[in-house]
Amino acid sequence: MTIETLRHFFGWCAVINYAMLLLWFVLHITAHTPLVKMCERFFNVTGDKYDAISLKAMFFLKLGIWLFNIAPYLALRIMG
């Protein structure tokens, strides 16, 4: 596996992961009420608790994307 292949791999992983994060954010904004009602029914979670959990999880996903996709991509760009 070459550095160029790894660079493409991490680049596309970052793009795909950011697309998933964007989709999650759009669903959180547009379908907030149905998602809260579903979580209240299945998990006994209030609306405020749902918001806190969802936003915290989005933050950790973004942090993971930066640590595990973008940082290696940038390191490979600097190397190559």
Let me know the angle formed at the C-alpha of 39 by 34 and 36, rounded to the nearest 5 degrees.
Answer: 35
What pTM did the predictor assign?
0.88
d(CA 46, CA 18): 27
Tens-digit pLDDT profile for residues 20-69: 999 999 999 999 999 999 999 999 999 999 999 999 999 999 999 999 99
18's tokens: 């950011």
Q: Is the pLDDT of residue 1 over 90?
A: no
